[in-house]
Structure 1
Amino acid sequence: MLRIRDDLEQRSDSMSLFRLKQPCYGGYADRPAENGGGGISVTVTFGGGDAEAAAEYVK
C-alpha cells in the first residue's frame, strides 16, 4: 500500500487524486478537518501485559 501511495503522490491526474482520498491510500482531504485545530497527540506504550507503562502528550 505504501508503494502504491508513493506512486500516486508523484502523479497529477484526476484519478490519482481521487484514489489518494480513499482511506486505504492515505485518506487525504481537500479541506482540513473542522475539529482538527492543528493539535498534536502522541501516545507511547512500553512493555505489555502486567508491566505496561504509557505516556500521552497532547498539545
Structure 2
Amino acid sequence: INECEEHDNNPCEGICTNTMGSYTCTCPEGSHGDGTKLGSGCIQTNKSDSPIVKVTT
C-alpha cells in the first residue's frame, strides 16, 4: 500500500515519501514541523523572526 498516493487519505501535509510498509512526512524547504496533518504540519519559516546578532571586537 502506498499511503502517499491516496489523495483523500494522505497522512502528510508536506512531502510524503513512501517506504517499505510505512511512509515518512517532511516539510518543504523554507518551512518546519513534523509534516503530518495530525501533528504540527508545516509552518512557513519567517526569516524576520530570526534574531540579529551583532558581534564587535
Work out whether the TM-score is over 0.5: no
Higher relative contact order (CA 8 A, sep 6+): 2
TM-score by structure 2 length? 0.25
TM-score by structure 1 length? 0.25
More helix by share: 1
